[in-house]
Amino acid sequence: MLEIKNIHKSFGKNEILKGVDLKIEKGDVVVILGPSGSGKTTLLRCINFLERADEGQAIFGNMDVNLKSASRKQIHQIRQKTAFVFQNYNLFNNKTALENVTEGLIIGRKVPKAEANKIGKLALEKVGLSDKINSYPSQLSGGQQQRVGIARAIALNPDIILFDEPTSALDPELVGEVLTVMKSIAKEGTTMLVVTHEMSFAKDVANKVIFMDGGVIVEEDAPEEIFSRPKEERTQQFLKRVIPEDYIYNI
Amino acid sequence: MSVGLDYQFLVKTFFIALSGVPTALIITIVSLLIALPLGFLLALSRINQIPVISQLARVYVSFVRGTPVIVQIFIIFTSVPLLLKPVFEEYHVQTNIYDINPIWYAFIVFSLNTTAILIEVFRSAISTVSKGQLEAAYSVGLNNVQAFRRIIIPQTLVVALPNICTATVNLIKATSLGYALSLREITLRAQVAANVGYNYIEAYIDIFIVYLLLCSLVEYLFKLYEKRLRKYKAVGA
């Protein structure tokens, strides 16, 4: 459904993405792991044009787009097919939770207000925030804000939802509630591309794990393979550092 | 020994001074109507470092902030006619250069002045709105105009409003300098009335009171507006 070919991106003299290829099928839940600076977030941001790649191609359904020279119209079309969940939630501070969720529908997709509100309320119900629809972000906890962010993404009913370290900015107690929501929408068949450090999510929910380092994909496989039988040295080193010692000795 | 204030004159001149308020207000409103959008756009160009425009804007702000308003008035008042003379002759305009109502010069000077001030006001206000707000707007499918109008500008305004209030009040007070152009605003009207019987103290007290009332009213209105806009912010933020 989505295929990325040979994506390159540099910031000044730093080459962050050194040629990455990626293929995602409908219903996939793909987790990208890797040390910081490996390009995971940049990859995500290039897909929906929050950054402009220096080189590369994206094939989205029947759309074939050059990532460097894409026109405004093409960018807009791709953004219609994707939704983004940010590490820092990025809720619209001057809008209520419901307004946050319906903004993209009403203004971006010209959905009539009544219908948008219906969709929005359903989305907020799905993330467990029906009682907060008229609250402003400043009145919500981090976990609640992120759940609104997820509701905002699912309300758009995109082909794929991109998650950029959705729980990294949360207090540990609040991480669980967000992961629960993500697991439930994954079970419903949502196509997800998730950059995260939450190994439990990768092990329990993902059907494909990608390990990135130094701007390239080092290894990609099913979670069982990656976690118990990593083939590359770099992957093994990373996992050793990230997963508690006793797991490695699990037979 | 009596204080020596002619109270009858005090009251009469108060209303004469008051009659200059519409002029002050027109100048203020016209200047704001021009300066607010222009200041905002130029502030954006500074933040996004758009070549040429952002450097010109920076120089322009320095010029305006570095010179007294009264001098800016004199410069505009003397140079604009000279610049317009060939234009008028070219298009065979009948009006005499020196018959132009001084209020037009006031419009020019105060628009230019206020724009420069608002560039700086908006530059700092916009920078308080995190870039993520714009990115989130793009990612839900809003275009630039929609994102700014619905998300960025409302949040910028809340932060900028106190400074815009200051700029407005300063603008109202600065219109008093229009008396140097023989602009019949608050100060000049009251002074003229005072000239008749040399009741300067009463006239100055009246001018003082009129400005105070006008500026206080404007401050109050701004405060109300700010309260409404701040609705979404956390309590005590």
Q: What ranges do the domains of chain B cover?
A: 7-232
Q: Which residue has the tokens 């439990």?
A: A200
pLDDT in tens, A10-43: 998 889 999 999 999 999 999 999 888 888 999 9
Q: Do A79 and B237 touch (CB under 8 A)?
A: no
Q: At what angle do helices B53-65 and B21-47 cross, to 10 degrees?
A: 140
Mean pLDDT value of segment A136-153: 94
For residue A78, how many C-alpha atoms fall within 13 Å in the half-sphere facing its CB? Answer: 27
Count CA atoms within 13 Å of residue B211 on its CB side.
20
Give tens-digit pLDDT for A36-76: 888 899 999 999 899 999 999 999 888 888 888 888 889 99
Count of residues making up chain A? 251
Look at residue A158 and tell me whether its pLDDT is greater than 80: yes
Per-residue pLDDT tens for B5-45?
778 878 888 888 888 888 889 999 999 999 999 999 999 99
Count of alpha carbons within 13 Å of A197, Cβ hemisphere only?
13
- Measure CB to CB from residue A79 to each of B141, B234, B237 and give the nearest one: B141
Structure confidence at residue A248 as a pLDDT band (50, 70, 90): low
> What is the least distance, in Å, from the CA of B121 to any CA of chain A?
20
- Of the partner residues B141, B150, B154, the one whose CB lies closest to the CB of residue A80: B141
In this complex, the residue of B136, B234, B237 whose CB is nearest that of residue A92 is B136
Contacts of A165 (CB under 8 A, 6+ apart): A41, A87, A195, A196, A197
* Residue A205: closest CA among A226, A230, A179: A179
* Shortest CA gap B169–chain A (Å): 27
Mean pLDDT score across all residues of chain B = 87
Q: What per-residue confidence (pLDDT) applies to B93?
A: 72
pLDDT band at B3 (very low <50, low <70, confident <90, very high): low
Give pLDDT, residue A209.
93
Q: Which CATH superfamily is domain B7-232 in?
A: MetI-like (1.10.3720.10)
Residues of chain B in contact with residue A50, where contact means CB-CB under 8 angstroms, are 135, 138-139
Question: By mean pLDDT, which of B39-43, B112-116, B201-205 is the weakest?
Answer: B201-205
Q: Is B198 helix (H, G, I), strand (E, B) or coil?
A: coil
Q: Which residue of A has its CA nearest to B135?
A: A50
Closest in B138, B150, B234 to A50, CB measured: B138
Residues of B in contact with A95 (CB under 8 A): 151, 232
Residue A172 has pLDDT above 90, yes or no: no
Q: ipTM of the predicted structure?
A: 0.89
Nearest-neighbour CA in chain A from B232: distance (Å)? 5
